[in-house]
A and B are shown apart, each in its own frame.
Chain A
């Protein structure tokens, strides 16, 4: 453990401990996890870089306020069980967060060490602790006396799982409704195995089940029961239905065979395991694949397509690399694996043959103009710069919006123009009494951890609401 003052600080290694990874040449041929995780020695070396700041900025950067210096101190003391317990005090899904959180823009962005060198690899340490615990066998916390209150959680993604776990720990009877056959939401259908093994999602869900939470898969709210009907049965409701409705560009040729939404492409590959010949679900194996978009989902789709055996995979993005919303690490991983980045490029038309199969994407070059509402510079087409990229599979990964099904039979639930539920930022309270919401259904497509943060805040608010009843 170092101290912030005096000479000791200068002894802190500027570079973070590298993450062991599968070599790019090898991993691009399999769906196994890319990052292999710290060994004990790596974890101890990295943890020793933490300055244990008196007023830790990193904690402020974490949407669920994990006691970061606290758990890192325990790692230094080789008390890994203590460390994971500390993390789990506030974060129900550490094995997932340690893998998919954008730490570089959250906790690690505020780390003091980042000013002169590299910040402490907080995410990697979190993952180490969670993996350590899984190897030992997860300890189930004591469940308090039942309060007699029933809460329905709609959607089993990161927001729903977090809310469910927190509410169960407070003694409420929680039922989670999931429309797909497997719990986890985007963790199960969206994020590929090579970034987040499904076995980990399964174990996290199992842990929440052990807290007494009941999961009802294949159960669609809005079809089997409306939200209004749920309101009659439960004392409170948390809506964590995410943003599952895929956006398309509205350009000609988008319905040709071989053009997928990222949701469909990734669901076939992740949830339905189309890459495994033992499974019956199919996905078109492209030789030349074009993925449109610049976020994590685009990186996931591109890297999945490569692993399915494509010769060339291009990412087409209308802005520059600096403007890409994807995590830095994912962009780097994609580049290492040989994904071609066609930046400042925008598709204008998809071409197909007489059998309705996609053959190419016609694109136009772009240049950056004035910043738009999001603060990013707006792309403007360069006239006459059209060109085509041959393609037999095209994946559209330009974003999603909330599924409107939840609004069927939900009297008094206000939504805004973008189709998201209007909810209080601090409590998740909606316009409908007893109904709280959080995650992508409120914010539009965002990150796993921000959804978890919202689930956490809402669980606290729901508990207070139930006490007042």
Chain B
């Protein structure tokens, strides 16, 4: 069993878009879900959110940033090559219905999972206000796609190289302050951004959802590695999530759990880079 890579491109420095031939996954996929892939027999199982899917063509798009060994290795693969495993769709789909106005906040590669949501909320008849951001304009992804999928699109960059000079959450606050009646805010991005964003949106009478990215192995509720405390209870991100009521999430615990293998990861990356320099990869 192998899954063919149909397209592969670098859409921002160290950020890659990959289209995979996976008809079963594409057919069943819904906004808010993710997949787990494994490059080869010795590879680890890595969860990635679904950035797009086409049921007719049987393709699933993932977008990833080079971070650890596996994503660096993944970045080296080209169209025409194969992945050993590609399992999904995983996670409970987003509860998309007609609510009125929905704000989608996407930071960094978090814009990737926000994109199918923007499409789904728009299709359900909502006014979708999307706010996307990155450290600088070169790292900004899916700008055109998000523009097409949304009623309004705002951009923020940390260095001010494009759009608002500052954070996505600044724009979110401005909209919430403007008196626009917003039913739901969905914040997807690095955990610290989701934590800050939740804090900013909390005083408003609006539903806030975040999509969490935990460390997991199987993605089906079996290992329990992705556990997160929501409303004082232990929940599994893979089956109970990945979306949760942001006000109830213990972000400190989440961030600490994500750091669990940081030391080992750094070592693995150093070893991999060294081997690449020696021409072993």
Q: Does A31 reach chain B (CB closer than 8 Å)? A: no
A243-262, CB < 8 A from B: 244-246, 248, 250, 254-255, 257-258, 260-261
Chain B residue with the shortest CB-CB distance to A226: B28
Q: Does A142 reach chain B (CB closer than 8 Å)? A: no
Contact partners of B265 in chain A: CB under 8 A:
282
Contact indicator A181/B38 (Cβ below 8 Å): yes
Q: Does B70 reach chain A (CB closer than 8 Å)? A: yes
Q: Mark B178-206, 1 if CB is under 8 A from A, else 0.
A: 00000000000000000000000000000
Q: Does B167 reach chain A (CB closer than 8 Å)? A: no
Contact partners of A245 in chain B: CB under 8 A:
221-222
Q: Mark A369-383, 1 if CB is under 8 A from B, else 0.
A: 000000000000000
Contact partners of B88 in chain A: CB under 8 A:
220, 223-224
Determine the distance from Cα of A437 to Cα of B257 in the docked complex, in whole angstroms. Answer: 37
Q: Mark A267-290, 1 if CB is under 8 A from B, else 0.
A: 110001100001111101000000
Contact indicator B220/A181 (Cβ below 8 Å): no
Chain A residue with the shortest CB-CB distance to B268: A280
Q: Mark A174-216, 1 if CB is under 8 A from B, else 0.
A: 0000011100000001000000000000000000000000000
For this complex, into which size category does the number of interface residues on chain A fall?
35 or more
Q: Mark B27-57, 1 if CB is under 8 A from A, else 0.
A: 1100000000010001111000000000000
Q: Does A295 reach chain B (CB closer than 8 Å)? A: no
Q: Does A355 reach chain B (CB closer than 8 Å)? A: yes
A426-465, CB < 8 A from B: none
Give the residue of A189, A254, A282, A404 whose beta carbon is less than 8 angstroms from that of B234. A254
Q: Does B89 reach chain A (CB closer than 8 Å)? A: yes
Q: Does A218 reach chain B (CB closer than 8 Å)? A: yes
- B79-87, B101-109, B134-142, B149-157: which lies at the interface: B79-87
Contact partners of A255 in chain B: CB under 8 A:
227-229, 234, 253, 257
Decide if the interface of chain B is mainly helix, strand, loop or mixed.
mixed
Contact indicator A356/B256 (Cβ below 8 Å): yes
Q: Does B25 reach chain A (CB closer than 8 Å)? A: yes
Contact indicator A261/B223 (Cβ below 8 Å): yes
Determine the distance from Cα of A367 to Cα of B77 in the docked complex, in whole angstroms. Answer: 59
Q: Does A341 reach chain B (CB closer than 8 Å)? A: no
Contact indicator A217/B85 (Cβ below 8 Å): yes
Determine the distance from Cα of A179 to Cα of B239 in the docked complex, in whole angstroms. Answer: 13
Q: Given known contacts A224-B89, A280-B42, A280-B69, is B222 in contact with A403 (CB within 8 Å)?
A: yes
Determine the distance from Cα of A403 to Cα of B222 in the docked complex, in whole angstroms. Answer: 7
Q: Does A264 reach chain B (CB closer than 8 Å)? A: yes
Q: Does B217 reach chain A (CB closer than 8 Å)? A: yes
Determine the distance from Cα of A343 to Cα of B17 in the docked complex, in whole angstroms. Answer: 54
Contact indicator A244/B222 (Cβ below 8 Å): yes
Contact partners of B70 in chain A: CB under 8 A:
280
For this complex, into which size category does the number of interface residues on chain B fall?
35 or more
Q: Does B264 reach chain A (CB closer than 8 Å)? A: yes
Chain A residue with the shortest CB-CB distance to B238: A405
Contact indicator B221/A272 (Cβ below 8 Å): no
Give the residue of B27, B69, B87, B253 whose beta carbon is less than 8 angstroms from that of A181. B87
Determine the distance from Cα of A281 to Cα of B42 in the docked complex, in whole angstroms. Answer: 8
Q: Does B259 reach chain A (CB closer than 8 Å)? A: yes
Contact partners of B225 in chain A: CB under 8 A:
260-261, 264
Q: Does A219 reach chain B (CB closer than 8 Å)? A: yes
Contact indicator A267/B28 (Cβ below 8 Å): no
Give the residue of B89, B221, B256 whose beta carbon is less than 8 angstroms from that of A405. B221
Determine the distance from Cα of A279 to Cα of B69 in the docked complex, in whole angstroms. Answer: 12
Q: Does B90 reach chain A (CB closer than 8 Å)? A: yes
Determine the distance from Cα of A248 to Cα of B223 in the docked complex, in whole angstroms. Answer: 11
Q: Does B224 reach chain A (CB closer than 8 Å)? A: yes
Determine the distance from Cα of A260 to Cα of B225 in the docked complex, in whole angstroms. Answer: 7
Q: Mark B234-257, 1 if CB is under 8 A from A, else 0.
A: 100001000000000000010011
Q: Does B280 reach chain A (CB closer than 8 Å)? A: no
Chain B residue with the shortest CB-CB distance to A277: B271
Contact indicator A257/B217 (Cβ below 8 Å): no
Give the residue of B220, B259, B261 whose beta carbon is less than 8 angstroms from that of A403. B220
Contact indicator A261/B42 (Cβ below 8 Å): no
Q: Does B275 reach chain A (CB closer than 8 Å)? A: no
- Name the residue in A189, A224, A248 with the highest tally of chain B Cβ atoms < 10 Å from its Cβ: A224
Q: Does B1 reach chain A (CB closer than 8 Å)? A: yes
Contact indicator A220/B223 (Cβ below 8 Å): no
Determine the distance from Cα of A280 to Cα of B88 in the docked complex, in whole angstroms. Answer: 21
12 contacts between A and B (CB under 8 A): A179-B87, A179-B220, A246-B223, A255-B229, A257-B260, A279-B44, A280-B43, A281-B217, A404-B239, A405-B220, A405-B221, A405-B239
- Which residues of A line the B interface, CB within 8 A? 179-181, 189, 217-220, 223-225, 244-246, 248, 250, 254-255, 257-258, 260-261, 263-264, 267-268, 272-273, 278-282, 284, 355-356, 403-405
5 further A-B contacts with Cβ under 8 Å, apart from A220-B220, A224-B27, are: A248-B227, A257-B259, A263-B224, A267-B223, A282-B265
